[in-house]
Amino acid sequence: MNTKKFFIGTLAGGIVFFFLGYLIYGMALAGFFSHHTSAAPGSMKQMSEIIWWALILGNLASGALLSYIFLKLGNIGSFGSGAGTGAAIGLFVSLSMDLIRYAVENSFDMTAMIVDVLVGIVMSAIAGGVIGVVLGRGKTIK
């Protein structure tokens, strides 16, 4: 595996996941999720209380997951191939985590679970597309 491409893909994907998470969860759907979750008041941290190193590492881990899989597959080198593969990975990761949470927690309703899976697909598709472009740089067209 190309270590340099892995780290560059991880960084690019982590940045995309970070900003998409802020835009989608922090801005666009914040009100939606507050109406469809049963989190106790005060359980969500305010912006000033966020543990930034953990948030950054979590997003980098998401970028690393996609980069690792893409490099192991070996045929991901464009936005389209990265987006398609990223969407599939996002579907399975989000669906598995959200179904388990829905089964064992009282944290959100089925509507929130479905929307969270859809958001996971979209975020993984966009991040996967960016990672695909980064990994495809320098490849020759055959």
Instruction: Give the tens place of pLDDT for each residue, 7-29.
Output: 999 999 999 999 999 999 989 99
Nearest-angstrom CA–CA distance, 114 and 22: 19
User: What is the rounded average pLDDT of the residues 35-63?
Assistant: 85
**pLDDT digits 0-9 by tens, 63-80:** 999 999 999 998 899 999
Predicted local confidence at residue 39, as pLDDT: 65
Q: How many residues does the chain have?
A: 142
Q: Which residue has the higher pLDDT, 118 or 35?
A: 118
* Packing angle of the helix pair 110-136, 52-73 (nearest 10 deg): 60
- What's the pLDDT band for 141 if we cut at 50, 70, 90? very low
Nearest-angstrom CA–CA distance, 107 and 113: 10
Predicted local confidence at residue 28, as pLDDT: 94
Predicted local confidence at residue 35, as pLDDT: 82
C-alpha dihedral sign at 83, 89, 95, 97: negative
Nearest alpha-carbon partner for 123 in 33, 38, 28:
28
Three-state SS sequence of 10-59: HHHHHHHHHHHHHHHHHHHCHHHHHHCECCCCCCCCCHHHCCHHHHHHHH
Tell me the DSSP string of 66-107. Answer: HHHHHHHH----SHHHHHHHHHHHHHHHHHHHHHHHHHH-SS
**pLDDT surpasses 50 at 142:** no
**pLDDT digits 0-9 by tens, 99-132:** 999 999 888 889 999 999 999 999 999 999 999 9
User: In the chain, pLDDT over 70 holds for what percent of residues?
Assistant: 93
Average pLDDT, the chain: 91
